[in-house]
Every structure is written in C-alpha cells, then in structure tokens.
Amino acid sequence: MRILAVGDIHLGRTPSRLPPDMSARELGPSEAWRRTVAAALEEKVAAVLLAGDLVDRDEDFFEAYRALEGGVRTLAEAGIAVVGVAGNHDVEVLPRLARHIERFRLLGAGGKWESCRIASGGEAVTLWGWSFPRRRFASSPLADQRFERAPGLNLGLLHCDRDAGADSPYAPVGGQELQRAGLDAWLLGHIHRPDALSAESPVGYLGSLTGLDRGEPGPRGPWMIGIAEGRIAEVSHLPLAPLRWESLDVSLEGIGEAAEARERLLAGMVALDERVSSAPVAPRALGLSVTFTGRSALGGAAMEAIPEEDRDAIHGGTAGTRYFIHRIDADTRPEVDLEVLARRRDPVGLLAARLLRLELPEGDPERERLVGLARRRLAAQSGKPVWRALTPGAEDPDPVAWLRRAGFRALDRLLEQGSSPPEAR
Ligand SMILES: [Mn+2]
C-alpha cells in the first residue's frame, strides 16, 4: 500500500521574483498540485494526505476551488482517497471548500481530533487528524489528547509549530510530545523546509509542495510512503515541483580576467543541472542565487561580466529546465596576505587580525568570543517577530559567514582607499 503525503501548497500564492516573461500559473502551487495528482495516479497510491495550508488566503477561494475540485475528482475516480486538515492559512476557506468538494475529507474540523481508516491491498491505516479551529491557536493540540490506537498502522496528520516555544500562536507542539503520542508517524505542515524523513524516522515536516520564494531553496514535492505488513517500509521525497530555488557558489580562485567568470558559472550550472535533471520530473524553472567566492580581486568585475539581459534565461538544462539568476553577489576575498596585513597598526591591521581569528579552530576562546558577539547582534535582529512571518523555517544566520563577508568587504574598501599605516604617511 502506498500513500502520498503533501505539505503546504498555498494555492493562490504567486511565486515571487520570476523573470517578467514567465508565467506564475505554470510555475506556482496549482501546477505543483497538478503534477502531484498525476504522480498519485501513476504510482497507484491508496490515498493523498494534505497537511494544511492548502490555500493561501480566503480570497483565493475560486483558484483553490478550480485546482482542488479537479484534482480531487480525478483522484476519486481512480479510487484514491483525499484527506486533509486545515492550517492557520486556510482555517476558514478549507472547510468552505470541503462543503463543495464532495469527495474531499476534512479531518478534525473545529479543533477536534478525528480518525479515519484507509484500507488497500490487505493493509489498513488509521489516520488521525486535527484542523485549526481559528487562525491563531496558542496551545498544543496534543495537550489533552489520548490516541486509542486501532489495529495496523496509525499515522498523525497535523499543521503545527514544532519546538517553537509555548508562545507560538500556531499550535505549538514539542517534538517530545509527538514522540510520546504513541502513533507510528507524524506528517506535519506549517514549516516550509522539509525534514529528512525516512522509514526509520517518519516524524517531521513535509515542506512546501513547491518553492514559493527564494527563501525556500532545494528540492520540493510530495512524499511517498510505502506500507507493508503493517509497517512503514519506505519513505521517499518526489521532487516534482515546477519551480526550484538554489544558491550556487562559484569560485573565482585563479582566474586571470573577469570574462573567465562566465565559464566558471556555466560549469557550476552544468554540474547542478546533472543533479536536477536526474529526477523523473524536472522543474520548469530554477532560480539561482549566485555567489562568487574564493581569493580573487575580480569579484566585482565578474558580476559585471554577467549581462543583465542574460540573467533571465542563463541556461536551458538537459531536461528543459530554464535557469535564471535572481541575484548575484561577490563574496570574494582579496588577494592579500592577512598575516602581513595583521602586523599593521591601523584599521586595516585590526580588521585583518580579527579575520585571522575566524580562521582559528572552532572552540578557540579568541574565535568564540568574536563569534559570540556577532551571534548576539544577529539574534537581536533575526529574533524580531516581524521577520517570522516572512521566512518561516529560515535558518539562523551563520555568524562566521556574516563576519567573514562583511570583514573582507570592509577590508577591500579600506585597501582601495589606500589606508596606510601611520608611520608611512
Ligand atoms: Mn501554516
């Protein structure tokens, strides 16, 4: 028996930062859903499970209706069950849609746990689900819940904020709580970055169905769950999203002129494309954030060597994926000897000495003091509630990378200005 599990779809959301001639309709959530329905039919799954935030906003009622109604009808005609829970985004619109899409099963409406049974090929699965009763729900849906296990596999389907602290308004749940609940797996929605789910560890976030913006890099798609003899035998990610975001580091180390940066970039894209195009269904488009790295004085010139007019369609992959660049940055390190510069008794010398400290092994007290200061400063910024809504699941900034980037950029500028030691003035 096979089941397809789908995380946050956000039907109605338009992917941001696409080149102007690209159609959001062909790259957005409804295309991702269309591909998912096709995969479910092809793989002959018994059910498609949806972990909440299927719809982005109440206003997206009609777009969501078109996509869901069509998909659910196709699946139902093939004998595939479609079961979902509501998240914080679709707390109102999903129950409304469910009333008009006969064969869509909304589980746990109004914040009351509910179970249903799916049987196929001699296997039976009991699915436990809970839907958001209102947009904000500041306590754990697992708090007073005891699951009466049914025979066979018991799976949980939930939209929640795991390990985010008790003050989260989005159904805060502790990872320990999930482990202790006594179910065999937890398929979660809300955080858009997928966890590394596996048959051994089938508890975690399914991730967004397609990369909704550049803050969601990496492969996206539904998860295939194979069940045999009452156990989870297989969990695999099907990266079939129509749009994907990646960052690409391109080293300029050793190049003699800026034009060579183009070849380095092309080589990097070809290597990336080998990975991307090996998937059974390749993305239609892939947005790249390019960073030139390495020790080179040509970082700025390399950026200028990639013409603006080429960035919207920089490469056509072997599977027809259109690669475009939405951002280019240079994080190159000047071709300087930090050891020599650090001997200077001026701002350049002080900065070089601090950059050298970052090169010390992890755990060195000098290095850790510097990193600790940076971490506190960055946390004061990134911890502000205003950012949370923007990049759910975004990683904490790496203080070492930030210090290095900012430090070398400042060092570049100081050296350009001809900052020289006092005794040489
Ligand atoms: Mn959510």
**What are 109-164's pLDDT values in tens digits?**
999 999 999 999 889 999 999 999 999 999 999 998 999 999 999 999 999 999 99
> pLDDT tens digits, residue range 283-317?
999 999 999 999 888 998 999 999 999 999 999 98
Distance 134 CA to ligand 1 centre (A): 12
Query: Which of 40-49, 119-128, 375-384, 402-411 is the least confident region?
Result: 375-384
Distance 238 CA to ligand 1 centre (A): 21
Number of domains composing the chain: 2
Looking at 186, 211, 237, the residue that finishes a domain is 237
Distance 54 CA to ligand 1 centre (A): 9
Looking at 237, 265, 283, the residue that finishes a domain is 237
Distance 331 CA to ligand 1 centre (A): 34
Distance 19 CA to ligand 1 centre (A): 27
Which residue from 311, 407, 414 is spatially nearest to 359, judged by alpha carbons? 407
Distance 127 CA to ligand 1 centre (A): 20
> pLDDT tens digits, residue range 246-296?
999 999 999 999 999 999 999 999 999 999 999 889 999 999 999 999 988
Q: Do 196 and 289 have their domain in common? A: no
Report the percentage of the chain scoring pLDDT > 90.
78
Tokens representing 381?
Answer: 């910024």
Looking at 197, 215, 237, the residue that finishes a domain is 237
Which residue from 199, 173, 198, 217 is spatially nearest to 207, judged by alpha carbons? 217
Contact 158, 174 (CB under 8 A): no
**Whole-prediction pTM value?**
0.81
Distance 247 CA to ligand 1 centre (A): 25
Q: Do 111 and 68 have their domain in common? A: yes
- DSSP designation for 169: S
Strand-pairing partners, residue 3, are 47, 225
Inform me whether the pLDDT recorded for 395 exceeds 80.
Answer: no
> At residue 406, what is the residue type?
A
Segments forming the whole domain that contains residue 256: 243-424
Distance 391 CA to ligand 1 centre (A): 12
